[in-house]
Amino acid sequence: MLPRLDDLIVAFDRGLRTVFAPAQSLSATPGEEMPEADMPEERRRRSAALMRVNHTGEVCAQALYQGQALTARDSGAKAALEQAAREETEHLAWTERRIEELGGRKSLLNPAWYAGSFVIGALAGLAGDRWNLGFLAETERQVVAHLDGHLERLPGEDRRSRAIVESMREDEARHATSATGHGAAELPAPAKAIMRLTSRVMTTTSEVL
Ligand SMILES: [Fe+2]
Ligand SMILES: [Fe+2]
Protein backbone atom coordinates (compact mmCIF):
# COMPACT_ATOMS: atom_id res chain seq x y z
CA MET A 1 0.00 0.00 0.00
CA LEU A 2 2.75 2.44 0.93
CA PRO A 3 4.85 3.83 -1.93
CA ARG A 4 8.44 2.59 -2.13
CA LEU A 5 11.30 4.91 -1.26
CA ASP A 6 12.75 4.96 -4.80
CA ASP A 7 9.32 5.85 -6.24
CA LEU A 8 9.17 8.73 -3.78
CA ILE A 9 12.63 9.91 -4.83
CA VAL A 10 11.65 9.80 -8.52
CA ALA A 11 8.46 11.70 -7.69
CA PHE A 12 10.38 14.33 -5.74
CA ASP A 13 12.82 14.77 -8.64
CA ARG A 14 9.95 15.16 -11.11
CA GLY A 15 8.39 17.77 -8.86
CA LEU A 16 11.57 19.82 -8.68
CA ARG A 17 11.91 19.68 -12.45
CA THR A 18 8.28 20.65 -13.04
CA VAL A 19 8.55 23.68 -10.81
CA PHE A 20 12.10 24.86 -11.51
CA ALA A 21 13.27 23.56 -14.92
CA PRO A 22 12.03 24.84 -18.29
CA ALA A 23 9.25 22.60 -19.65
CA GLN A 24 9.84 20.67 -22.89
CA SER A 25 7.11 20.21 -25.47
CA LEU A 26 6.98 17.72 -28.33
CA SER A 27 4.32 19.39 -30.46
CA ALA A 28 4.11 22.91 -31.88
CA THR A 29 2.55 25.55 -29.67
CA PRO A 30 -1.01 26.33 -30.85
CA GLY A 31 -1.23 29.76 -32.47
CA GLU A 32 2.53 30.12 -33.00
CA GLU A 33 1.90 30.90 -36.68
CA MET A 34 -0.17 33.92 -35.67
CA PRO A 35 1.41 37.36 -35.48
CA GLU A 36 2.11 38.89 -32.06
CA ALA A 37 -0.61 41.43 -31.22
CA ASP A 38 0.42 45.02 -30.66
CA MET A 39 -1.30 45.43 -27.30
CA PRO A 40 -1.31 48.37 -24.92
CA GLU A 41 0.72 47.68 -21.76
CA GLU A 42 -2.35 47.18 -19.54
CA ARG A 43 -3.82 44.50 -21.83
CA ARG A 44 -0.48 42.75 -22.27
CA ARG A 45 -0.14 42.59 -18.49
CA ARG A 46 -3.65 41.15 -18.18
CA SER A 47 -2.79 38.44 -20.71
CA ALA A 48 0.43 37.61 -18.86
CA ALA A 49 -1.43 37.37 -15.53
CA LEU A 50 -4.10 35.06 -16.97
CA MET A 51 -1.48 32.85 -18.62
CA ARG A 52 0.38 32.73 -15.28
CA VAL A 53 -2.82 31.38 -13.68
CA ASN A 54 -3.13 28.76 -16.43
CA HIS A 55 0.52 27.81 -16.02
CA THR A 56 0.00 27.26 -12.27
CA GLY A 57 -3.06 25.16 -13.13
CA GLU A 58 -0.84 22.99 -15.30
CA VAL A 59 1.75 22.73 -12.50
CA CYS A 60 -1.11 21.42 -10.33
CA ALA A 61 -2.14 19.00 -13.10
CA GLN A 62 1.41 17.59 -13.20
CA ALA A 63 1.38 17.15 -9.43
CA LEU A 64 -2.07 15.53 -9.37
CA TYR A 65 -1.11 13.03 -12.04
CA GLN A 66 2.22 12.24 -10.35
CA GLY A 67 0.49 11.81 -7.00
CA GLN A 68 -2.15 9.56 -8.53
CA ALA A 69 0.47 7.51 -10.38
CA LEU A 70 2.30 6.91 -7.09
CA THR A 71 -0.63 5.30 -5.30
CA ALA A 72 -3.12 4.17 -7.99
CA ARG A 73 -3.61 0.44 -8.47
CA ASP A 74 -3.03 -1.04 -11.90
CA SER A 75 -6.07 -0.69 -14.11
CA GLY A 76 -7.34 -0.45 -17.67
CA ALA A 77 -7.58 3.28 -17.05
CA LYS A 78 -3.81 3.57 -16.75
CA ALA A 79 -3.18 4.13 -20.45
CA ALA A 80 -5.81 6.87 -20.56
CA LEU A 81 -4.24 8.55 -17.53
CA GLU A 82 -0.80 8.40 -19.09
CA GLN A 83 -2.03 9.87 -22.38
CA ALA A 84 -3.69 12.72 -20.48
CA ALA A 85 -0.53 13.30 -18.43
CA ARG A 86 1.53 13.63 -21.62
CA GLU A 87 -0.87 16.28 -22.91
CA GLU A 88 -0.64 18.16 -19.62
CA THR A 89 3.12 18.35 -20.09
CA GLU A 90 2.51 20.03 -23.44
CA HIS A 91 0.14 22.49 -21.78
CA LEU A 92 2.77 23.28 -19.18
CA ALA A 93 5.31 24.10 -21.89
CA TRP A 94 2.87 26.15 -24.02
CA THR A 95 1.77 28.35 -21.12
CA GLU A 96 5.36 28.80 -19.92
CA ARG A 97 6.49 29.91 -23.40
CA ARG A 98 3.56 32.29 -23.72
CA ILE A 99 4.31 33.93 -20.35
CA GLU A 100 7.86 34.56 -21.57
CA GLU A 101 6.63 36.04 -24.86
CA LEU A 102 4.37 38.39 -22.93
CA GLY A 103 7.23 39.43 -20.66
CA GLY A 104 5.49 38.01 -17.59
CA ARG A 105 6.71 35.65 -14.88
CA LYS A 106 5.62 32.37 -13.36
CA SER A 107 3.81 32.29 -10.02
CA LEU A 108 6.00 32.37 -6.92
CA LEU A 109 3.56 29.99 -5.23
CA ASN A 110 4.10 27.12 -7.68
CA PRO A 111 6.19 25.00 -5.26
CA ALA A 112 3.42 25.17 -2.64
CA TRP A 113 0.69 24.38 -5.17
CA TYR A 114 2.71 21.48 -6.53
CA ALA A 115 3.18 20.00 -3.05
CA GLY A 116 -0.49 20.38 -2.09
CA SER A 117 -1.76 18.96 -5.38
CA PHE A 118 0.64 16.04 -5.14
CA VAL A 119 -0.78 15.03 -1.76
CA ILE A 120 -4.36 15.39 -3.04
CA GLY A 121 -3.52 13.26 -6.10
CA ALA A 122 -1.92 10.58 -3.92
CA LEU A 123 -5.02 10.47 -1.68
CA ALA A 124 -7.30 10.20 -4.72
CA GLY A 125 -5.14 7.31 -5.97
CA LEU A 126 -5.52 5.53 -2.61
CA ALA A 127 -9.30 5.87 -2.77
CA GLY A 128 -9.39 3.39 -5.67
CA ASP A 129 -9.85 3.63 -9.41
CA ARG A 130 -13.48 4.74 -9.57
CA TRP A 131 -12.95 7.63 -7.15
CA ASN A 132 -9.59 8.45 -8.63
CA LEU A 133 -11.15 8.74 -12.09
CA GLY A 134 -14.13 10.58 -10.59
CA PHE A 135 -11.80 13.15 -9.08
CA LEU A 136 -9.99 13.49 -12.39
CA ALA A 137 -13.22 13.92 -14.38
CA GLU A 138 -14.53 16.56 -11.98
CA THR A 139 -11.18 18.41 -11.99
CA GLU A 140 -11.17 18.52 -15.79
CA ARG A 141 -14.80 19.71 -15.94
CA GLN A 142 -13.97 22.54 -13.56
CA VAL A 143 -10.89 23.41 -15.62
CA VAL A 144 -13.01 23.63 -18.78
CA ALA A 145 -15.39 26.06 -17.01
CA HIS A 146 -12.40 28.07 -15.79
CA LEU A 147 -10.87 28.26 -19.28
CA ASP A 148 -14.22 29.45 -20.67
CA GLY A 149 -13.99 32.34 -18.21
CA HIS A 150 -10.47 33.14 -19.41
CA LEU A 151 -11.59 33.16 -23.04
CA GLU A 152 -13.98 35.94 -22.01
CA ARG A 153 -11.31 37.89 -20.14
CA LEU A 154 -8.33 37.52 -22.50
CA PRO A 155 -7.91 40.49 -24.85
CA GLY A 156 -9.61 39.70 -28.16
CA GLU A 157 -6.51 40.67 -30.17
CA ASP A 158 -4.24 38.31 -28.22
CA ARG A 159 -4.81 35.46 -30.64
CA ARG A 160 -1.64 33.61 -29.65
CA SER A 161 -2.79 33.22 -26.02
CA ARG A 162 -6.35 32.45 -27.09
CA ALA A 163 -5.20 29.66 -29.41
CA ILE A 164 -3.33 28.02 -26.52
CA VAL A 165 -6.31 28.29 -24.16
CA GLU A 166 -8.68 26.94 -26.82
CA SER A 167 -6.47 23.90 -27.48
CA MET A 168 -6.11 23.23 -23.77
CA ARG A 169 -9.87 23.49 -23.32
CA GLU A 170 -10.36 20.86 -26.03
CA ASP A 171 -7.83 18.50 -24.40
CA GLU A 172 -9.24 18.94 -20.88
CA ALA A 173 -12.79 18.23 -22.09
CA ARG A 174 -11.45 15.03 -23.70
CA HIS A 175 -9.69 14.06 -20.46
CA ALA A 176 -13.02 14.40 -18.60
CA THR A 177 -14.87 12.29 -21.17
CA SER A 178 -12.17 9.64 -21.15
CA ALA A 179 -12.20 9.39 -17.32
CA THR A 180 -15.99 9.04 -17.38
CA GLY A 181 -15.71 6.40 -20.08
CA HIS A 182 -13.30 4.40 -17.90
CA GLY A 183 -15.85 4.20 -15.09
CA ALA A 184 -15.40 7.37 -13.03
CA ALA A 185 -17.65 7.68 -9.97
CA GLU A 186 -19.70 10.87 -9.57
CA LEU A 187 -18.25 12.82 -6.64
CA PRO A 188 -20.58 14.01 -3.86
CA ALA A 189 -21.60 17.68 -4.09
CA PRO A 190 -19.59 18.82 -1.01
CA ALA A 191 -16.40 17.39 -2.53
CA LYS A 192 -17.06 19.30 -5.75
CA ALA A 193 -17.66 22.48 -3.76
CA ILE A 194 -14.37 22.09 -1.85
CA MET A 195 -12.55 21.56 -5.16
CA ARG A 196 -14.11 24.72 -6.61
CA LEU A 197 -13.12 26.69 -3.52
CA THR A 198 -9.53 25.40 -3.63
CA SER A 199 -9.13 26.29 -7.28
CA ARG A 200 -10.64 29.72 -6.61
CA VAL A 201 -7.88 30.34 -4.05
CA MET A 202 -5.28 29.11 -6.57
CA THR A 203 -6.54 31.24 -9.47
CA THR A 204 -6.96 34.46 -7.48
CA THR A 205 -3.59 34.23 -5.73
CA SER A 206 -1.59 33.25 -8.81
CA GLU A 207 -3.12 36.10 -10.82
CA VAL A 208 -1.22 38.53 -8.58
CA LEU A 209 1.58 36.44 -7.07
FE1 LIG B 1 -3.92 20.91 -18.98
FE1 LIG C 1 -6.38 17.76 -18.44
Given this model, what pLDDT does residue 77 score?
A: 66
Does residue 208 surpass a pLDDT of 70? Answer: yes
User: Residues in the chain, how many?
Assistant: 209
The span from the CA of 206 to the CA of 106, in Å, is 9
pLDDT greater than 70 at residue 193: yes
Angstrom distance (rounded) from CA 152 to CA 154: 6
Q: How many CA atoms lie within 13 A of 95 on its CB side?
A: 29
Contact between 159 and 31 under an 8 Å Cβ cutoff? The reply is: yes
The percentage of residues in the chain with a pLDDT greater than 90, rounded to a whole number, is: 61
Q: Flag the least confident range among 24-38, 49-63, 66-80, 178-192.
A: 66-80
Distance between CA atoms of 95 and 90, rounded to whole angstroms? 9
CA distance 82 to 79: 5
Q: Which ligand approaches the C-alpha of residue 139 most closely?
A: 2
Distance 4 CA to ligand 1 centre (A): 28
Residues 110-154: pLDDT tens digits?
999 999 999 998 888 888 888 988 999 999 999 999 999 999 999
Which runs of consecutive H residues, i.e. helices, occur in 102-188?
A: 110-126, 129-153, 159-181
Sign for the CA dihedral angle at 134, 140, 146, 152 comes to negative
Distance 59 CA to ligand 1 centre (A): 9
Residue that wins the pLDDT comparison between 13 and 33: 33
For the chain, what is the mean pLDDT?
89
Find the 170 Cα to ligand 1 centroid distance in Å. Answer: 10
What is the distance in A from the centroid of ligand 1 to the CA of 181? 19
Confidence of residue 14 (pLDDT cuts 50, 70, 90): confident
> So what's the pLDDT on residue 161?
97
**Quick one: which of 200, 178, 20 has its CA closest to 111?**
20
pLDDT, residue 74, reads 62
Name which of 180, 195, 31, 208 is nearest 123 in CA terms.
Answer: 195
Q: What is the mean pLDDT of residues 50-59?
A: 96
Q: How far is the CA of 167 from the centre of ligand 1 (A)?
A: 9
Is the confidence at residue 181, as pLDDT, over 80? Answer: yes
> What integer is the mean pLDDT of 168-174?
96
Give residue 49 CA to ligand 1 midpoint distance, Å: 17
Distance from Cα 141 to the centre of ligand 2, integer Å? 9
